[in-house]
Amino acid sequence: MPKKICLFAHYTHSDTLPNDVQHYLKALYDCGWETHLALSGQKSLSLDTDNFCKQHNITPHLRSNEGLDFGAWQELMHKGVTQNADHILLTNDSVFGPLYPMDSIFAERLSKSIDVWGMAETLEVNWHLQSWFLCFTNNAFHHEKIQDLLNLPFKEMPKPEIIQKGELGLGRLLQQIPNFKCAGQWSKLQKYPLRDPRQTNPMHLDWHSVIASGKVPFIKKEVIRDNYYGLFWLNYYRKLLKNNVYFSLEYIDDYLKQFPHRPLPVVPKWKRFLYLFSTYDTKLAWQYFIRHGISCPIIEPPEK
């Protein structure tokens, strides 16, 4: 059986693993992944976290919060945990999910000769696979050029530089390596009316279509928490997940109680109106527009 190693980057204010993170880690365990969990910013390991990790084939690693996700993955990589793996998955806690089981996704992708694949393929800024979920073959991960990138001094970089040299830099690099095969679960790169793909994050503007595709069982936390695109149909996520027996809506509510929305500039009404013609969520967006207009809801957990 192929050996599958996951490097999971998690940042927390406390020594307790949030329910949504536990759910994601359990889902990976159910799919046969051995996980190395970077607990950034955590100085001690609670008994509950230790027991959870032991039950789900997870090795926890306490570390200082430096270098964001790429710094965490690099630190785990330097411990030699990926050397004998057939597949290496880099992921983090920036998403809610999986919203449905991933068995069929992994079964399909890992059976094909794909060097690197991710959940979301995008042209935003430049072509790349979004770094919150990246799966490599052993040969691809340990390719000299990819190792050079993964060994950059991320701990010394500010966040914008990490994004530019890490996530976006990897996208540019993957296109330069001859004969490398890359794929995204969500991969709609063709032109679309009133939409500049170089300035569009599909995990935001197309959040519902991404989930409904059956290929990407995740929604970004920042979409629900901040909604900085000003998506007027975003509140539909509550109806979508209300009766989900696999992923509890309470996981999101618990998160929002700890991390309320951040005040952001208001998206102009004309721009929100144009979403009706530029999102793949067209049907849902029109339904909300007809009923509620383009006002943007503030997402808060309901009072109990």
pLDDT at 298 exceeding the cut of 70: no
Interval 121-138 mean pLDDT: 97
Write phi, then psi, for 189 (nearest 5 degrees). -105, -5
The confidence score (pLDDT) of residue 59 equals: 98
Residue 210, token pair as written in the block: 């991404």
- The span from the CA of 47 to the CA of 294, in Å, is 47
pLDDT tens digits, 202-246:
999 999 999 999 999 999 999 999 998 999 999 999 999 999 999
Look at residues 45, 2, 22, 5 and name the one whose alpha carbon lies nearest to residue 247.
Answer: 22
Q: Are 256 and 173 in contact (CB under 8 A)?
A: no
The confidence score (pLDDT) of residue 189 equals: 77
The confidence score (pLDDT) of residue 58 equals: 99
pLDDT at 165 exceeding the cut of 80: yes
Pairing of strands 4-11, 87-92: parallel
E strand residue ranges, 23-147: 34-40, 58-63, 87-92, 95-96, 116-122, 128-129, 133-137
Written as one letter, the residue type at 56 is H
Pairing of strands 95-96, 87-92: unpaired
- The span from the CA of 162 to the CA of 71, in Å, is 9
CATH number of 4-186: 3.90.550.60
pLDDT tens digits, 96-119:
999 999 999 999 999 999 999 999
Q: Are 76 and 39 in contact (CB under 8 A)?
A: no
The confidence score (pLDDT) of residue 265 equals: 76
Q: Which residue has the tokens 């927390």?
A: 12
CB atoms within 10 A of CB 180: 17
Residue spans per domain, the chain: 4-186, 197-292
Q: Which residue has the tokens 């046969």?
A: 32
Write phi, then psi, for 32 (nearest 5 degrees). 90, 15
Task: State how far the alpha carbon of 4 is from the alpha carbons of 1, 89, 119, in Å.
Answer: 9, 8, 17
Instruction: Report which of residues 131 and 292 the model is more confident about.
Output: 131
pLDDT, mean over the chain: 94
pLDDT range class, residue 301, cuts 50, 70, 90: low
